[in-house]
Amino acid sequence: MTANLVLLRHGESDWNRKNLFTGWVDVDLTETGEAEGKRGGELLREHGLLPEVVHTSLLRRAIRTAQLSLDAADRHWIPVKRSWRLNERHYGALQGKDKAAVRAEFGDGQFMLWRRSYDIPPPPLADDDEFSQARDVRYANLLTSVPRTECLADVVARLLPYFYDSIVPDLRNGTVLIAAHGNSLRALIKYLDGLSDAAVVSLNVPTGIPLRYELDETTLLPVKAAEYLDPDAAEAAIHAVANQGK
Ligand SMILES: O=C(O)[C@H](O)COP(=O)(O)O
């Protein structure tokens, strides 16, 4: 027996469209993003992958993508659980900045270190910055303090406790959908696929295309390579994410 886990990055957001670093800034989906969410749900239905429970971040773009896709799959009624631990990586002082402008100002090398290196965070975001989450009520009860910046290693450290404690028990009871973000999903894929710190640098996750994992029922590790439910669309979209800011 195996357990099914489906990972879904939110559809295109306003700031994806504008090519801005987003992180914890709570931007909405574009119309394209809404259509991607719906299409994601249709793919779930076509593949008979009907989730019993959905986990999302606390950010609107992931929450709405989950709702749109579950509605399209006629699973709008399933239980939902949310955690800040599934949020996008906090992008520090880069939040709200244009990706191409940052690349032009700091150069390719620094841009890619901030964007994809495993353990180098961008500079921290000041608490009085308009894009800070330091006083956001939804994070008032965090056990740790609200991040001012994060590298991918920080995301792995805050995401895995949630995976073990909240997602693993649900995986033992049926198909689980996680609607989250490019970098929080990179952190989870790193764990599931056993990617090295070096290998995760070149991993990119497309928006709105469900990624299916079949997991061993005991170890809850993949029994085979994960599959995008629309592989051709995924390949093109992965390429586009990798080239953002160029
Ligand atoms: O937070 C962001 O800007 C994006 O959702 C992810 O961006 P990245 O692909 O540049 O890490």
Lowest pLDDT segment from 1-5, 21-25, 151-155: 1-5
Strand partners, 54: 80, 177
Is any ligand 1 atom within 6 A of the Cβ of residue 201? no
Instruction: Say whether 60 counts as a known binding-site residue.
Output: no
Q: For residue 56, give the DSSP letter.
A: E
pLDDT at 107: 97
Please, what sign has the CA dihedral across residues 147, 152, 155, 157? negative
Is any ligand 1 atom within 6 A of the Cβ of residue 114? no
Tens of pLDDT, residues 102-120: 999 999 999 999 999 999 9
Which residue in 9, 53, 8, 40 sits closest to 167, CA to CA? 53
| Exposure string for 120-131, b = 16+ CB within 10 A, e = fewer | ebbeebeeeeeb
Pocket test for ligand 1, best of 88, 95, 110 (most atoms within 8 A of CB): 88
User: Among all residues, which ones are annotated catalytic?
Assistant: 10, 88
Which residue in 200, 135, 133, 191 sits closest to 163, CA to CA? 191
> Which structural domains are found in the chain, ordered by start?
2-211+224-242 (3.40.50.1240)
Is any ligand 1 atom within 6 A of the Cβ of residue 182? yes
The pLDDT-based confidence of 193 (bands split at 50, 70, 90) is very high
Tens of pLDDT, residues 150-187: 999 999 999 999 999 999 999 999 999 999 999 999 99
Report whether pLDDT(143) > 80: no
Across the chain, the runs of DSSP E, i.e. the strands, are: 2-9, 53-56, 80-82, 176-180, 211-216, 227-228
If you measure from the C-alpha of residue 173 to the centroid of ligand 1, how many angstroms do you get, rounded to a whole number? 32
Q: What percent of the chain has pLDDT over 90?
A: 93
- 220 sits in the region (left: phi over 0; alpha: psi -120 to 50; else beta) called left
pLDDT at 141: 85
pLDDT at 44: 98
Is any ligand 1 atom within 6 A of the Cβ of residue 21? yes
Sheet hosting strand 53-56, strand order edge to edge: 80-82, 53-56, 176-180, 2-9, 211-216, 227-228
